[in-house]
Structure 1
Amino acid sequence: MEKIRLLHTNDLHSHLENWPKIRRFLDQRKREASQNNETILTVDLGDFVDRWHPLTEATSGQANVELMNQIGYDAVTIGNNEGVGSSKDELDHLYDQANFDVLLGNLFDKRTLEMPKWAQPSKIITSIEGTKIGLFALTAPFPLTYSPNGWDIRFPQDLLPELVESLRGQVDVLVLMSHLGITEDRKIAATFPEIDLILGSHTHHLFMEGEIVNGVQLAAAGKFGQYVGDIVLTVDQQHRLKEATVRAVPTATMTEFPEDQAEIEGYLARGHALLQEKKVAAIPHDLKVGTGDYLLIEATLRAMKERADVEVAIVNSGLFLAPIMKGLVDQDQLHQSLPHPMHLIRVSLLGSDLIRLVLEMEKNRSFLRNYPIIGMGFRGKIFGEICYSGLEFDAVNHKVRWLGEPIIPESSYTFVTVDHFMFIPFFPTIEIAGSCEFLFPEFIRSVLGDSLKSHYLID
């Protein structure tokens, strides 16, 4: 019997506070396998890059790839943070210096309809004793955000039959590196028993000892580097898989060295320093978070309208985490104030639907004011107040006005807001009745920075 070890990381999201221990753990396991003449594979399942971290933001993810190179992964795939959190050009060059293979079977260039040059659909690795392990990868399809960024993202169901058929006959063990989420993984397992192992991610689910669906072994290791997946495959002399032992190893139990904290703090310090070098504008007054004059939220609403070329904007105050002080503004200040990987959307609605949307917002206003919200790219603590620019709501008469005028139900109106409003469940009219255009590649902080630069030049 041959033992093949497969170690996987996933959804690190630039949580580099766990990286020294993870690197040490993976390196130790690889050295042990080498000494014992055993086969070991290391893979990452995506969302290693996340631009909330200043070093990731400052280097467009290149620093993350430098860290991944320390492992020398056998294969990695991308998550939505790499795919949508990067401009097309940034993603096309993200892996220029990588010492590992990027696997991805469902992303294509929108113009050429060809796979990106930095990716390949699959990889076959032969173990020391001759077992052929086939790896292939799929990432979560978000057409609304991938398409305007220049990508053709395809649904797994459309590609899986051909991918599985083409690989199954060439390998002894077939492994799917999935950034699709737990529900999709279970569906795939139920439909494709030809797959031996699905390594799962995206939904941050955790299987401490795995799960079996339709004879397919599933594994998952949570989020933020809090666990590392450790799977041992047992194959017989005919290279047939006989058993898979799955566990998620808590990072908290791994060896920690005194110098780890200095390394972790160094990543933050380097990121802040690089961002501080990038000057944006020289503003004559503080842009405050809260109430009073010269509000940061007002400057951002103005910037949003300028970018979208519309006269009305809507945003929530919980996005604004820190003021921007007068004087020279740099990208570090913008990043600390608006760390969210959010894009803008331009939304067109009939007047009747716009009235309904504002009523939805007003109905939820009190609830959302102090509502703690996570996910969908939100990096704040609470949703906060809903803020309009160009819209007015008469709470007494329940009337909505657009630029001071009554709304005509049959007319069309276009405004700008953040894509977050489309993904959260509180304002369904946006998705149900709206015509929505995603504005790429800028994040909301970049939109604000561009506006400040245009209004307040650096001498």
Structure 2
Amino acid sequence: MNHLKWGGRILFISAVVCAASCSRIAKPGAAAPTENNMREAHFSILQVNDTYKVEGLENGHVGGFARLRTLRRQLQQGGKPVLMLHGGDFLFPSIMSKYLKADAMIRVLNLMDGDASAFDDDMVVVFGNHEFDDPDPGVLLGRIAQSDFAWLSSNIRYLSSEHSSGVPFSKRLGNVHDVLIKEFDGVKVGLFGITLDIKKPPYVGFDYALGARRAAIKQAIADLKAKGAAVIIALTHQDFDQDQWLAREFPEVNLIVGGHEHFYIEKAIGNTWITKADADNKSAVIHDVRVSPDGRVETSHQKIDLDDKTAKDAQVDAEVGKQLDRLAQAFKKQNKDLNQVVGQTRYLLEGVEPAVRGRETALGNFLADAMRERMKTDIAFINGGAIRINDNIPPGPITAYDMEGLFYFDNELVSFELSGAQLLEVLKNSVSKSHLGDGRFLQVSGLRFKYRAQQANGVYAYAIDPADVQIKPQGASVYTPIDPNKRYRVATVDFIWEKGFSDGYAIFAKGDGKSSPPRLDNGTAVSFRQAVEEAIGNLPNKTVTNRIEGRIIRLESNQ
């Protein structure tokens, strides 16, 4: 895939009207359009997903909605029909949404058509799992009602009480749809939405168990066909493997526009493409859709990187500035300063989720080191899913805003013992879904290891040889091979100790089975955030100097 730089973007945008057979990625098995007296239908789709910071990443130098608005405006030049789709996760979690109850996000999204007072007929979003973060259902219902665009869901229901069977959200709010028909260039385009059930608040019911999900999708497709849909698009927020299942189970779906993973993905299953963009509008995906007179649907797509080479839309950028000012005022009301400098970093601290959930990072090393030192243990680990900043901290100041992002949830630290054999099982689970950017991936301190990855036909397998794991116990100066029978003192966050089973760590279950090992800290509450702030304060010149040093090394199958 050729990732275009800005110099080539205008060329692509103008070329998006050319034949799909000329595009870099053509739908497998697609035939060239038939030439006859009937006109071929043609439209574009602009896709993003998982956007949390309205301003973008790295202090606004990457991604953000102002750049996305610029791209959409360019695509629409000359009156070209463009459907904008969002693959879910935008209300929460972010520091701005935490303090402003997601109001700022909707205000910015309402400007994606350039008019804050008009309903955007060509923008559709699907519910992501984080849309349900706030325990108050009024927050979600209020943000939906505030939205000047359509919401889509075919498998979730609003529950007015925990004991009700619930009704589709479409029965509560007029801009939510079970399925949706849009018309572009004379062709009816049908959309349905699927959301996974990782979050289960008491006010939402899910039809996501396999049988219920299959039935919901089957019904949605039947409804769309009955309404005359010539193109069927699934707008989903679920794991990539479930998108692949959908494509195999329902080949009549022409395109799956997905979210949930936070990095760019493209894969063809039969004649159906599945695509996901990088989070926070770091990239977008443009689809070119053509429907021939005989009903054949052809799609092609292109990834567009959104960085400083993309100009920011002035109107959206101004609104983003207003919302950042509102956030600063909300901080002041709690006697906090958004820009307070708490320390420095000499090197880049990567906090974006594809990094902390898939490989060793300098930020992960620092956080795990601070935890290990505070709890005086042999080793420490922190799951990537607990590092919520989803941004990079460039060399320079570390601010209160950065700390709020890192500790969106302020866990407590715990300590306990694991045998070397148990630790090996923990490490194997840590890397078991590293290709998907799963939150179970661990950043570590006091140990280093290598793991081997194999991939065949899209199926990944991972293995760790005990000989490739070394430990440097507290007070030691060198690493030594792991001893399966030795017991090691371990530090981590209370979430893993209590609920690690939800991420595949069977040994960590405080409740049912009570398999979590006994705590060494006697339940003494130690704030993770406080431990990290103290660690920064104790550093020379309050400067973090951690770098990537080979604590976690991935070996491909041929190594």
Instruction: Give the TM-score band, short-chain normalised.
Output: 0.5 to 0.7
Deviation per residue, 1:352-402 (Å, 9 max, x gap): xxx9x864799659x99xx999977799x95679xxxxxxxxxxx9899xx
Q: Does 1:45 align with 2:87?
A: yes
Q: Judging changes above 3 Å, is the alpha-carbon distance between structure 1 residues 229 and 422 closer, same or farther for their aligned structure 2 residues?
A: same
1:61 is matched with: 102
> Is the CA contact 1:7–1:40 (under 8 Å) kept in the aligned structure 2?
yes
Q: Per-residue deviation at 1:46?
A: 0.7
Q: Give percent identity, aligned residues only.
A: 15
Secondary structure of 2:200's match? helix
Q: Would the aligned equivalents of 1:51 and 1:85 in 2 still touch at CA under 8 Å?
A: no
Mapped contact 1:189–1:195 kept (Cα < 8 A): yes
Q: 8 Å contact 1:233–1:241 — kept in the other structure?
A: no
State the distance in 1 between where 2:264 and 2:48 align: 12
Matches within 5 A, 1:92-103: 92-103=141-152
* 1:424 shift after superposition: 4.0
Report the counterpart of residue 21 of structure 1 in structure 2: 67
Corresponding residue of 1:175: 233
Give the residue type in structure 2 aligned to 1:64: M
Shift in CA distance, 172/360, structure 1 to aligned 2, threshold 3 Å? farther
Q: 2: CA distance between counterparts of 1:74 and 1:21? A: 16
Q: Which residue of 2 aligns with 1:79?
A: 128
SS at match of 1:13: coil
Tell me the residue number matched to 1:429: 507
Structure 1 match to 2:47: 8
**Matched letter for residue 105 of structure 2:** N
2:403 paired residue among 326, 331, 336:
336
| Alignment equivalent of 1:246, drawn from 293, 301, 313 | 301
User: Aligned AA for 2:311?
Assistant: E
How far apart, CA to CA, are the structure 2 residues paired with 1:4 and 1:262? 30
Maintained 8 Å contact 1:197/1:218? yes
TM-score under structure 2 length normalisation? 0.53
1:206-256 Cα distance to aligned partner (Å, 9 max, x none) = 24xx53212223222232212111111111235x23311111111138522
CA contact (8 A) 1:8 1:45 kept: yes
Does structure 2 retain, via aligned residues, the 8 Å contact 1:76–1:102?
A: yes
SS of aligned partner of 1:161? helix
Does the Cα contact within 8 Å between 1:190 and 1:213 map onto a contact in 2? yes
Q: Measure the CA separation in 1 of the matches of 2:87 and 2:423.
A: 37
Mapped to 1, the partners of 2:440 and 2:487 lie a distance apart of: 30
Q: Is the 8 A contact 1:342 1:377 kept in 2?
A: no
Is 1:114 aligned with 2:183? Answer: no
Q: CA deviation at 1:84?
A: 3.3
> In the alignment, is residue 203 of structure 1 matched against residue 261 of structure 2?
yes
Matching residue of 1:453:
none
Alignment of 1:121-160 (within 5 A): 121-129=178-186, 131-142=187-198, 145-147=199-201, 149-155=202-208, 156-160=213-217
Q: How big is the shift at 1:417?
A: 4.4
The 2-side partners of 1:205 and 1:320 are apart by 16
The residue type equivalent to 1:146 in the other structure is: K
- Opposite residue 506 of structure 2, the aligned amino acid is P
1:317 shift after superposition: 12
CA 1:339–1:88 in 2, change beyond 3 Å: closer, same or farther? farther
The C-alpha deviation readout for 1:428-450, integer Å capped at 9, x for no partner, is 233597269xxxxxxx9xxx9xx
> Matched residues in 1 for 2:85 and 2:100: separation?
23
Aligned mates of 2:297, 2:98 — CA distance in 1: 45
SS of equivalent to 2:403:
helix
Q: CA–CA distance in 1 between the matches of 2:304 and 2:420?
A: 44
Structure 2 Cα separation of the partners of residues 173 and 80 of structure 1: 26
Q: Which amino acid aligns with 2:403?
A: Q
Cα separation, partners in 2 of 1:49 and 1:243, compared to 1, 3 Å: same
Measured in 2, the distance between the counterparts of 1:206 and 1:375 equals 11
Closer/same/farther in 2, CA of residues 193 and 183 from structure 1, 3 Å limit: same
Check 1:157–1:235 CA distance in 2 against 1; reply closer, same or farther (3 A cut).
same
Q: 1:115 Cα shift?
A: 1.8
Q: Are 2:55 and 2:320, in contact at CA under 8 Å, matched by a contact in 1? A: yes
Structure 1: distance between partners of 2:47 and 2:488: 55
Task: Please tell me whether the aligned partners of residues 47 and 81 of structure 1 are also in contact (alpha carbons under 8 angstroms).
Answer: yes
TM-aligned CA distance change 1:258 to 1:16, over 3 Å: closer
Query: What is the one-letter code of the residue matched to 2:50?
Result: D
Which secondary structure does the structure 2 equivalent of 1:224 belong to? helix
Distance in 1, matches of 2:98 and 2:440, equals 16
Change over 3 Å in CA distance of 1:263–1:67 after alignment to 2: closer
- In structure 2, what is the Cα distance between the partners aligned to 1:269 and 1:360? 50
- In the alignment, is the contact (CA less than 8 A) between 1:376 and 1:423 conserved in 2? no
RMSD over aligned Cα atoms: 4.9
Structure 2 letter corresponding to 1:218: I
1:123-176 CA distance string (max 9 Å, x none): 1011232x100111111222xx314x4321221334212222222232111110
Alignment-derived partner of residue 185 in structure 1:
243
1:165 aligns with 2:216: no
Counterpart of 2:307 in 1: which secondary structure? Answer: helix
Change over 3 Å in CA distance of 1:67–1:211 after alignment to 2: same
| Structure 1: gaps spanning 5 or more residues | 281-288, 291-296, 299-314, 323-331, 346-354, 386-396, 401-415, 437-443, 449-459
Q: Count residues with an aligned counterpart.
A: 358
Gaps of 5+ in 2: 1-39, 57-62, 113-119, 337-365, 368-373, 376-380, 390-398, 447-485, 515-524, 530-559
How far residue 187 of structure 1 moved from its aligned partner, in angstroms, is: 1.0
Is contact 2:244-2:269 (8 Å) kept? Answer: yes
Partner Cα separation in structure 1 for residue 319 and residue 410 of structure 2? 32
Q: Give CA-to-partner distance per residue, 1:85-128, whole Å, 9 cap, x none.
A: 56433222222211001101121134431123243211101123
Alignment of 1:319-398 (within 5 A): 336-337=403-404, 339-340=406-407, 342=409, 359=418, 364=423, 382=443
Matches of 2:55 and 2:261 in 1, distance apart? 19
TM-superposed CA distance for 1:23, in Å, is 1.4
Question: 1:161 & 1:108 partners in 2: Cα distance?
Answer: 17
